[in-house]
Structure 1
Amino acid sequence: MPDWKLPTFLASILCAGAALGWLAGSSAWAGLAIAAIIGVVFLLTRLRHLQRAMMAASVTASPMQDDRLMTRAHLLASNLRDLRQAADRLPDAVVLLDRRQQIRWFNHAAESLLGLNRTRDRGQPLIQRMAHSDLADWLRDGAQGQLDDVAAPGNKDNQLNVTLLPFGEHQQLLLAHDITPMKRLEQVRRDFVSNVSHELRTPLTVIHGYLELLDPEDVPELAPVLGEMRAQSKRMGQIVEDLLTLSRLETQHEVIDERVPMAALLATVRKEAEALSQGRHQISLESTANADLFGSPKDLHSALSNLVSNAVRYTPNGGSIAIRWRREPGGAVYSVSDTGFGIPANHLARLTERFYRVSSSRSRDSGGTGLGLSIVKHVLNLHQARLQIESEAGAGSTFSCHFGDERLLAPDTGE
């Protein structure tokens, strides 16, 4: 490659790295860090080849050829220095490891975030330097996948997302992205939603109470208007209650575990579904798990009934809804299947996001708040369970809650 094209080539590497980092769902800085390291390795390789060429030509080369080789060497060294400085100033921590996970190089951010020291830690095993931290446990377990929300070893007030990538010949690249600003913004959002919801609860209760006092028979021409106002105030009240529930779940890290009798809970969920359906659907219940759950009765009732009420809302009249509680390898599964509209595949991954709607008009017409599945996801997370969604447009849906054996109890016979 001609020397005058090197800066353009290296700039292209950096831009491509940033773009790849963004497309992969990671930080653009992470992609930039990878690109910078690749550029450094490329330039080192070029310098090595140039050194060999200079040694081979030293016997027969003319002074002009020597000057040209020296100019190329200086240009490569200058580009290498620029790239190293660029990688050194990235806000994300970057650590280059050899095949034995010993530290070869790291940037300034790694000093502040990971607590590394340039004079002390080069050549040392990273796992040894990260001892007594979650990062060391993750490395010891094979560093599979990304490590999320881990305290920074160099500053416990910071939170990191950490990734370990294969690099070069049996080398690895550790990237640590500081997510502290994002976590703070997320906390501000939670506090705002919680405070606004609390402030809205009282005036909405007052409005709804006065609407209930108005008798449509006194002013017949306003009966449709009063009916719509009552329905909308009730819906707004439900949104506020769901927001408060979600705010509580998002800040909660564990539940107060109690026995949850599944026979009684399933019977309650079915009655609620029948009351909401008002005879428009065929609702069946199949319970073969012969097990109770260990968890929060209130939260589990909220999650399980949310799935059933969704099925009722989004299943046309005459459709069927099947509620099942059965065993599976490693635990038990609660599932709700319907013959409703179904959900296109491109929407499935985002269904548990707050206020995400496949069809806005259909959701509002059915009385949904757009928060139910988000509540379900957080409740299941608190119970170390997971939500599985299977659906096809026009062919109905199945929502399944998978609970591990550690959450199952033999039914209480009362004897």
Structure 2
Amino acid sequence: MAKNSFSRVLGHVLLLVLFCLLLGWVLEQTAWVLVIGLGCYLAWTLRHMSRFYDWLSTHPNEPPPEARGVWGEIFDSIYHLQRRDSKMRSRLQAVIDRIQSSTSALRDAVVMIDSEGHLEWWNHAAERLLGLRTPDDSGQHVANLIRDPRFIEYFERGDFRDPLEIPAPIDLNVQLQYAITRYGPGDRLMVVRDVTRVHNLEQMRKDFVANVSHELRTPLTVVVGYLETLLDMDDELNPRWKRPLQQMQQQASRMQALLQDLLLLARLETSDNPSEEELVDVRPLLEHIRKDAEALSGERGHHITLKIEGNTRLHGIEGELRSAFSNLAFNAVKYTPDQGEVTLHWWSDDKGQHLSVIDNGVGIAPQHINRLTERFYRVDTSRASTTGGTGLGLAIVKHVLLRHQGRLQITSVPERGSTFSCHFPPNRAA
């Protein structure tokens, strides 16, 4: 196309030159006629160039000026490009308007945040749930408008795999769930949902379980006490009643362990942030757990080893950490065959501090791993009575780690063993 246009312009110039030469030959003034002809052509070209420049400088959105010849074709091409670009922009604007209208109609808040954390756009639900104001808050940093320390830590950490649930900044009785997704060159899309009803139902369930567990503890203690008293009366006890009483005592003890785990779990769920933290030395804690695991193994003869590398001082609550670590160690002993191997490995690196409990036991199938931390979830219900567990151990481990900003990682191969790893962030190290 450009080559054809150049050929046409060159053809016009050659025709002009031939005409001037012919006229100059007739008038016997060839040089002057040629100079005047080319000068007029240059002046005509400069005039249209000036009109073109004025149009670009002052009225680029209006149609280009009228012209003839090559410049007329140029202006017509620009006009057609304008029309096509205008139609394309209209279609794109219509799509943008529809997207904004649909997101504005959502009940969930949608907030667009740039790579530096500044607000770019939000829908009407964000004004209702977060108290954002248009246009005053545009360009503000999100941490200046949502000042909850838990949200600031969640936003700055950049790990958005799990959503965050905290009270609304304008109404503490409203519970909001924040989910952030990355897109583009560092931009983020934040979706905020009102989960007050679900949160209240979950809180009612927790309160119900805690209250029932607390109320059952006293009568169960009385029953266990009387059963122990009856079993101590060997001489006066009818032999036919000894085995039933022993089974009753065994089941009552399991009920006591279940109630204790339920009460501990209810206490852990009341807050995600430990309020009475201290500096815990993990070395003696793990050595004590290893001895308890050996006592639990007893005649089964497990080989239990402890390896410690790096910094062992951790900020946290010793009782909760002891409960989490011992649950992992005791589970490894319970589900590892006799003479099996269990290893407690503690180490630290630039990513934080870690504990792995490794066994060569029965292992876990992949479809069960994601549900292991659910309450009362069991991989094999037939093992429930033999292992004597309550089904709450890993749920307790999960909540203890959440309260200490940690996470639980589970890897397992059936018939080869399992590895349960606790990972703590670097800021937890002393």
TM-score by length of 2: 0.66
Match of 2:127 among 111, 114, 117: 111
Query: In 1, Cα distance between the equivalents of 2:417 and 2:329?
Result: 13
**Residue 351 in 1 paired to residue 372 in 2?**
yes
Of 219, 243, 246, which aligns to 1:227? 246
2:288 alignment counterpart: 268
Q: CA deviation at 1:382?
A: 2.6
In our comparison, the structure showing a higher alpha carbon Rg is 2
Change (3 A) 1:112 1:375: same
Question: Aligned residues: percent identity?
Answer: 42
Give the secondary-structure state (helix, strand or coil) at the position aligned to 1:189.
helix
Show the 5 A alignment for 1:327-342. Answer: 327-342=348-363
**Contact residue 112 and residue 155 of structure 1 kept, 8 A:** no
Flag as ranges the 4+ runs of structure 1 deviating above 6 A: 80-86, 96-102, 166-172
SS for the counterpart of 2:361 is: coil
Does 1:208 find its partner at 2:227?
no
Q: Distance in 2 between matches of 1:143 and 1:220?
A: 66
Output the CA distance in 1 between the equivalents of 2:426 and 2:110: 40
CA distance in 1, matches of 2:218, 2:199: 30
Distance in 2 (CA, whole Å) between partners of 1:150 and 1:352 is: 22
Structure 1 residues 96 and 210: alpha-carbon distance in aligned structure 2, compared to 1, 3 A threshold: same
CA distance in 1, matches of 2:248, 2:98: 66
Aligned residue in 2 for 1:148: 164
CA contact (8 A) 1:115 1:155 kept: no
Paired residue for 1:185? 201
Listed as ranges, the matches of 1:12-411 within 5 Å are 88-95=104-111, 106-107=123-124, 109-117=125-133, 120=135, 124-125=138-139, 127=141, 131=145, 133=147, 145=160, 148-164=164-180, 174-215=190-231, 218-252=237-271, 253-289=273-309, 291-408=312-429
The one-letter code sitting in structure 1 at the alignment partner of 2:139 is P
Bigger drift between 244-253 and 379-388 goes to: 379-388
Q: Is the alpha carbon distance of 1:112 and 1:226 closer, same or farther for their aligned partners in structure 2, counting shifts above 3 Å?
A: same
Code of the residue aligned with 2:225 in structure 1: it is G
Change (3 A) 1:276 1:130: same
Q: Give secondary structure in 2 for the equivalent of 1:400.
A: strand
What displacement does 1:167 show?
A: 8.3
Change beyond 3 A, Cα 1:154–1:143: farther
Deviation, structure 1 residue 333: 2.6
Pair 265,174 (structure 1): closer, same or farther in 2 beyond 3 Å: closer
For the residue of structure 2 that corresponds to 1:350, the secondary structure is: coil
Identify if the C-alpha distance between structure 1 residues 208 and 289 changes in structure 2 by more than 3 Å, giving closer, same or farther: same
131-140 vs 277-286, which deviates more?
A: 131-140
Match of 1:236, as an amino acid?
Answer: M
Decide whether aligned partners of structure 1 residues 285 and 152 sit closer, same or farther in structure 2, where only a CA change above 3 A counts. Answer: same
Secondary structure in 2 aligned to 1:94? Answer: strand
126 and 280 in structure 1: CA distance in 2 versus 1, 3 angstrom threshold: same
Supply the distance in 2 between the matched residues of 1:300 and 1:275 (Cα, whole angstroms): 20
Structure-2 change in CA distance of 1:140 and 1:213 (3 Å): closer
**Local SS of the residue matching 1:270:** helix
Partner SS state of residue 318, structure 1? coil
Distance 2:423 2:166 in 1: 26
For residues 393 and 196 of structure 1, the distance between their equivalents in structure 2, rounded to whole angstroms, comes to 37
1:85 to partner: Cα distance: 7.3
The more displaced of 275-284 and 161-170 is 161-170
- Relative to structure 1, the CA distance from residue 172 to residue 374 in structure 2 (aligned partners, 3 Å threshold; closer, same or farther) is closer
TM-score by length of 1: 0.68
| Counterpart code for 2:358 | S
Gaps of 5+ in 2: 1-82, 88-93
Partner deviation per Cα, 1:240-277 (whole Å, 9 max, x = no partner): 00111111111132142334344432332122112221
- Structure 2 distance, partners of 1:361, 1:160, is 40
User: 1:271 & 1:222 partners in 2: Cα distance?
Assistant: 36
Distance apart, 1:368 and its partner CA: 0.4
- When the two chains are superposed, the root-mean-square deviation of aligned CA atoms in Å is 3.9
Query: Which stretch has the larger CA shift, 250-259 or 206-215?
Result: 250-259
Aligned partners of 1:337 and 1:247: how far apart in 2? 28
Q: Which moved more, 1:250-259 or 1:349-358?
A: 250-259
Q: Structure 1 stretches of 5 or more lacking a match? A: 1-51, 57-76, 410-415
